Amino acid sequence: MAVNRDEIFKKVQGVLVDALGVDEEEVSSDSTLMGDLGAESIDFLDIVFRLEKAFAIKIPREELFPIENLMNNPQYVKDGKMTAAGLAEIKAKMPHTNLSEFEKDPNINKLGDLFTVNSIVNYIESKLKS
């Protein structure tokens, strides 16, 4: 079934409005979940549950928001920055995410900014195609 990007965005927007208690206008494709929309850790699970329901798909843990395990691995994080190995791992694990900005300054405090509305839409789009 072909679903176009606008339809996916609309549904993702609805999910975020319900999960985060934000207004529809606040959710644009480049909004970051944590910085702009105020998501906290439990909200990520809530978002995953709601996306699974809205799109009737299964989202394995660590697929949409996979950073938790990366952060705790000394091979990937050194002196508060992501190492080259860490960056490679993120690239492999998060193909739905735009990493160009993060690569310039891979400070782990900025990892949260990687989770944007757009990255969710990309993920869902690839999931529905497969």
CA–CA separation, 76 vs 78, rounded Å?
A: 7
- Residue 57 makes contact with other proteins by CB under 8 A: no
Q: Is 61 in the site for other proteins (CB under 8 A)?
A: yes
Nearest approach, Cβ of residue 28 and other proteins (Å)? 23
By CB under 8 A, the residues from 95 to 114 that bind other proteins are: none
Strand (E) or helix (H) holding 51: helix 41-55
Q: Does 62 bind other proteins (CB under 8 A)?
A: no
Which residue among 3, 49, 112, 126 contacts other proteins (CB under 8 A)? 49
Stretch 1-40 residues interacting with other proteins (CB under 8 A): 18-19
Distance CA 126, CA 82 (A): 26
Q: How far is the CB of 61 from other proteins (least distance, A)?
A: 7
